Amino acid sequence: MLECVINISEGQNDAVLAELAQCVSGALLDVHTDPDHNRSVFTLVGTDAPRELTRTAMRVCSLESHDGVHPRIGVVDVVPFVPLRGSTMSDAVAARDDFAHWAAHELDIPVFLYGHERSLPDIRKNAWKTLRPDVGPQEPHLTAGAICAGAREPLVAWNMWLRNVDLAQTRQIAAHVRSAQIRTLGLQVGEFTQVSCNLISPDTHGPDVAYDLVAEHTAIDRCELVGLISRATLETIPSDRWETLDLDDTKTIEWRLEHQL
């Protein structure tokens, strides 16, 4: 089984978000939406639903009027395939490559690949400068930009909200805690600032570790899990910390697979 955690550059239009969720309802484990990021994260299973969501998003969304604090290069910004039980990283790479060629040829959109070739931050930094798409057109789609298609191990996307901390200081804090295991951005989110994290090695550097590192610099107002977490990662964290970290068993991939599909 493969998981696919698609990041769509739309987090404000409820009607559009409902249409996107409906088109993949049989494979949908979770949707997380943030209007300030103007971004939604759809957690799917399988390889068919990512194509349907991509096709629909390109039809109903556009970068032409998009405004949000999270960086993006496309309407369908990030499409990572993740091996779950019974599948391997080779399966994820094959699914990524099949998806990339399908998107390029069926939808005429450029696709950058990440995984063993390069990291997602490498694409964000270098796309259209020193880095050209791996598949498809060599210029951005007029309304949909480009897609970053990846194959990766499970990670945890997780945010910490800071009150009365300005953006410059938040970015300094994000830089202090950034490492190979913890990728961070400092963002302005309404009246708050936010340290937005991708926890690349969550079993050793999970939300509890990231929280403690940021708490060395400032008080944390609240935390937010984006998408789902594996049960194995959750169980590495003392249960008396789960509520503060916005975690519980119903937010695990395994719980959603058992109860929703």
Annotated active-site positions, please?
70
Question: 110-124: b or e for each residue (b if 16 or more CB lie within 10 Å)?
Answer: bbbbbbeebbbeebb
Q: Coil, helix or strand for 167?
A: helix
* Residue 177, Cβ density class (10 Å: 0-12 exposed, 13-18 middle, ≥19 buried): buried
Sheet holding 156-162, edge to edge: 182-189, 192-199, 156-162, 222-226
The answer to whether 66 and 38 are in contact (CB under 8 A) is: yes
The answer to whether 104 and 111 are in contact (CB under 8 A) is: yes
Element (H, E) at 98: helix 89-107
Amino acid at 257: L
Q: Is the dihedral of CA 255, 39, 120, 156 positive or negative?
A: negative
